[in-house]
Amino acid sequence: AQKVTQAQTEISVVEKEDVTLDCVYETRDTTYYLFWYKQPPSGELVFLIRRNSFDEQNEISGRYSWNFQKSTSSFNFTITASQVVDSAVYFCALSEAGDMRFGAGTRLTVKP
Amino acid sequence: GAGVSQTPSNKVTEKGKYVELRCDPISGHTALYWYRQSLGQGPEFLIYFQGTGAADDSGLPNDRFFAVRPEGSVSTLKIQRTERGDSAVYLCASSLRPLGLAGGLGEQFFGPGTRLTVL
């Protein structure tokens, strides 16, 4: 069975600090996909990134970066120079075939 | 419309009643997904459609829950004999094609959800 663990329930940082959100997953498949979604206070989930299991290259998009390590089954998300607008709940998710299994989420609060 | 829409936005019902929740996916998206999100939790997968057929309904909690997508576009999630434990936000998402199919990037676009409260 596939499973996603986000051990950090809540994180609070001060603006401009860097912050890393952890994600550890379990799967028996060799082909799978990992995702990060953001859920701001408005409630709608916003797609951030997708990664397939064959591509372990780290990715950077502006202030966001992702570190995918199959050896530790982790897909961590780092926000550099955090901003108040980054405050949201962030979900890591795993998909093997069509469905999507989400972690419990990490609530990030960025204080001014 | 431009995005996934869900109606109603809020539904309050009494224990034992029947409810229907509607989802309008993005036009042209062949895959449609239903999730349930309880307070403080991540979305919980319920069912996923590819076209008109349910490709995976393993997340439906019991036989009180049923979903249809008769024409491959709009979907309705139906809950019979509602219970207080069914109270949650029900999310719908669509994607152009599901993961695994050619061109299926898997990016799911989510609707705003329907908040169901069972009294």
A98–B45 CB contact, under 8 Å: no
Q: Which of A6, A100, A101 sits opposite B108 (nearest CB)?
A: A100
Per-residue pLDDT, B1: 54
Structure token pair of residue A110: 């960025």
Task: Summarize pLDDT for B45-83 with one digit per residue, the tens.
Answer: 999 998 899 888 989 999 999 999 999 999 999 999 999
Q: Sort out which chain B residues have CB atoms less than 8 A from A105's CB and list them.
A: 40-42
Q: Sort out which chain A residues have CB atoms less than 8 A from B99's CB and list them.
A: 33, 95, 97-98
Per-residue pLDDT, B6: 97
Q: Sort out which chain A residues have CB atoms less than 8 A from B43's CB and list them.
A: 45, 91, 100, 102
Q: Sort out which chain B residues have CB atoms less than 8 A from A5's CB and list them.
A: none
Instruction: Give the phi and the psi of residue A60 in degrees, each rounded to 5.
Output: -125, 135
Task: Summarize pLDDT for B18-52 with one digit per residue, the tens.
Answer: 999 999 999 999 999 999 999 889 999 999 998 89
DSSP, collapsed to helix, strand or coil, labels residue A84 as helix
B43–A45 CB contact, under 8 Å: yes
Identify which of B100, B65, B82 has the alpha carbon closest to the alpha carbon of residue B17. B82
B105–A98 CB contact, under 8 Å: no
Report the pLDDT averaged over residues B77-102.
87
What count of other Cβ atoms lies within 10 Å of the Cβ of residue A27? 18
Contacts of B38 (CB under 8 A, 6+ apart): B44, B87, B88, B89
Least confident of A4-8, A9-13, A26-30: A26-30
Task: Summarize pLDDT for B98-111 with one digit per residue, the tens.
Answer: 665 544 556 789 99
Residue A47 predicted with pLDDT over 70: yes
Q: Which of A44, A46, A100 sits opposite B33 (nearest CB)?
A: A100
d(Cα A8, Cα A65) in Å, to the nearest integer? 18
pLDDT above 90 covers what percent of chain A?
A: 71
Q: Search chain B and give the residue with CA nearest A44.
A: B112
Residue A61 predicted with pLDDT over 90: no
d(Cα A56, Cα A45) in Å, to the nearest integer? 25
